[in-house]
Amino acid sequence: MKKNRLLIALLFTISQVSFATMQMDEKGMVMNANSNNLPKDCSQISETVNLTIHAGQKYAEKFNGKMFAFDRQQWDVKPCSKINIIFINDDQIRHQFMIHGLPGYLYPDGMLHLELYGEGQLRASLIVPNQKKTYLVHCELAQHAEKGMKAQLKVGGGDGDLPSIPAISAPINSDHYLLDWTELKLGGVFALFVITITFGSGHWLLSRYFGKYK
């Protein structure tokens, strides 16, 4: 009986590890890709979706105060969809494409992870469960998500918007910029007026002073 339990535990461990696949080379890595194993609540694949996703600094230019971004901030798919991803890094620096909250029995730590160490591209697939849910997509490198590289994947319409998605939802902690360009321009005009009056008056007083002793 004890041996049977140990055998079952060993087989369960092996089955879990078999999903923890990693592909790695000098350009980047893919972890936990899944193109064949259906989630428990899916009897078949509902649709196949091909997504090409870009990452880079140029995609953040449309967002005030951001440095990095994906070319899109939201993707919508049906439950039980198979998603084929082409992840393209347009920068010379390291970027990641990570999806969180996936079922752990298929995706260790509930995560799909694509990472490029510089310019290049990677491919990976996943199959999403049969439930309405909004999944977090982001780059987990330090400050990259905070600087704009954050998005969401909505399955079946999702269960709401995640916070701090650029152009979609409000941040949890708003940035406070000390400079207001309108006030700065008005302040500059006022400062120029004061300087002109001050120097103008000073010049007039000096002229009167020195003229008095000529």
Yes or no: say if 164 and 152 are a contact pair by the CB < 8 Å rule. Answer: no
Q: Note the pLDDT of residue 156.
A: 98
Q: Which whole-number Å values give the CA distances from 152 to 72, 155, 158, in the listed order?
A: 9, 10, 9
Q: Which two tokens stand for residue 202?
A: 């000073």
The pLDDT of residue 12 is above 70? no
> What is the β-pairing status of strands 120-127 and 82-89?
antiparallel
The pLDDT of residue 177 is above 60? no
Of the chain, the percentage scoring pLDDT greater than 90 comes to 68
pLDDT band at 171 (very low <50, low <70, confident <90, very high): confident
**Angle made by CA atoms 98, 100, 101, in degrees to the nearest 5:** 160
Three-class SS state of 70: strand
Cα–Cα distance, 126 to 137 (Å, whole number): 13
Cα–Cα distance, 53 to 74 (Å, whole number): 11
Cα–Cα distance, 87 to 144 (Å, whole number): 16
Q: Which two tokens stand for residue 58?
A: 């140029």
- Class of 22-155 in CATH: mainly beta
Residue 201 or residue 168, greater confidence: 168
Task: For the chain, give the mean pLDDT.
Answer: 84
Q: Note the pLDDT of residue 210.
A: 53
The pLDDT of residue 200 is above 80? no
Q: Note the pLDDT of residue 192.
A: 59
Residue 20 or residue 186, greater confidence: 186
The pLDDT of residue 86 is above 60? yes
pLDDT band at 38 (very low <50, low <70, confident <90, very high): very high
pLDDT band at 55 (very low <50, low <70, confident <90, very high): very high
Phi-psi region of 6 (alpha: psi -120 to 50; beta: other; left: phi over 0): alpha
Q: Which two tokens stand for residue 120?
A: 């290049």
